[in-house]
Amino acid sequence: MTIIDGKQVSSDLKAELKAEVAELSARLNAVPGLTVIIVGEDPASQVYVRNKAKSCVETGMRSTVIELPASTPQEELLSKIGELNDDPEVHGILVQQPLPPHIEEYAVTMAISPSKDVDGFHPENVGQMVLGNLDKGYISCTPYGILELLSRYNIETKGKHCVVVGRSNIVGKPMANLMLQKLKETNCTVTVCHSATANMPELTRQADILVVAIGRANFVTREMVKPGAVVLDVGMNRVEDPTRKSGFRLTGDVDFGPVSEIASAITPVPGGVGPMTIAMLLKNTLQSFRRARGIES
């Protein structure tokens, strides 16, 4: 059984991006720039934003964080996004979720220029992904990270049955669409399961590749997994643990211990899919920089 080490792959990828940014900086006297906007003071969001900024700086990119109060009117936020769209030094724009209730998420998504939507959420980028034009848009970072893990671990996907548990716009739907594409890392037959799926264990047991992103701790048990399957756990849940100083521990959507005994490969939580999300965000930002400069990948 192979533990798919997303932390190590992320570190390797960041080192590669750092070398590429350094070469481009020396040649062009310019670097990719990522701007993150955070509205309000959600503690988890603040941690995510700090981690993104830190990773950005570590790879030699320019990081800018714009902090706005929770009371910020929607029009003010949209105006700020418009300014960033027009700024040639900004190559990636990300608005951290969740947003305050009075701000419409869809309006924010639509406000970001597709050419700077390095999160891959704009309908134009989603459409390019569905059509298979992956070189013309940006892929949502978490599914993109899973593709990177499959590639770097040389996991055979062609003709395999991939079952995706979850149908969110951030992970489930784009993951299913990507696994359908005719790519080296995909080319699967795909089934999507969700909260209304009947007889879900019957379907998950058919999976050669099982991607779980349902947001429920230890939801997928050993009995739901086919021996020899590759299991990719996207979940990140806090569960009470009185033995920890914090009073909780992080666990995925997969019951890791028992499932790892029968899987051929599996991602741990933490340290599996999670670290890849930021790495792919940086990769998308570098790609945006290259496109803005007319440089082929």
Is 244 contained in some domain? Answer: yes
pLDDT at 225: 98
Of the residues 80, 96, 160, 287, only one is catalytic, namely 96
Q: For the residues of the chain, what is the DSSP string, one character each?
A: -EE--HHHHHHHHHHHHHHHHHHHHHHHS---EEEEEEES--HHHHHHHHHHHHHHHHTT-EEEEEEE-TT--HHHHHHHHHHHHT-TT--EEEEPSSPPTTS-HHHHHHHS-GGG-TT--SHHHHHHHHHT-TTTS---HHHHHHHHHHHHTT---TT-EEEEE---TTTHHHHHHHHHSSSTT---EEEEE-TT-TTHHHHHTT-SEEEE-S--TT-B-GGGS-TT-EEEE---EEEE-TTSTTSEEEE-SB-HHHHHTT-SEE--SSSSSHHHHHHHHHHHHHHHHHHHHT---
Is 8 contained in some domain? Answer: no
What is the CATH classification number for the domain harbouring 264?
Answer: 3.40.50.720
Please state which of the ranges 68-72, 207-211, 224-228, 242-246 shows the lowest mean pLDDT: 242-246
**Number of domains within the chain:** 2
Of the residues 5, 117, 119, 253, only one is catalytic, namely 119
**Residues 99 and 174 reside in one and the same domain:** no
Residue 52 designated active-site = yes
Is 279 contained in some domain? Answer: no
**Residues 146 and 252 reside in one and the same domain:** yes
pLDDT at 96: 95
Of the residues 5, 14, 52, 233, only one is catalytic, namely 52
pLDDT at 297: 64
Residue 45: pLDDT band (50, 70, 90) is confident
What is the CATH classification number for the domain harbouring 46?
Answer: 3.40.50.10860
**Residues 93 and 214 reside in one and the same domain:** no
Residue 46 designated active-site = no
Q: Is the pLDDT of residue 72 over 80?
A: yes
pTM score over 0.85: yes
Domain residue limits at 251: 141-274
**Residues 82 and 164 reside in one and the same domain:** no
Please state which of the ranges 41-55, 155-169, 187-201, 217-231 shows the lowest mean pLDDT: 41-55
Mean pLDDT of the chain: 95
Is 131 contained in some domain? Answer: no
pLDDT mean over 105-111: 97
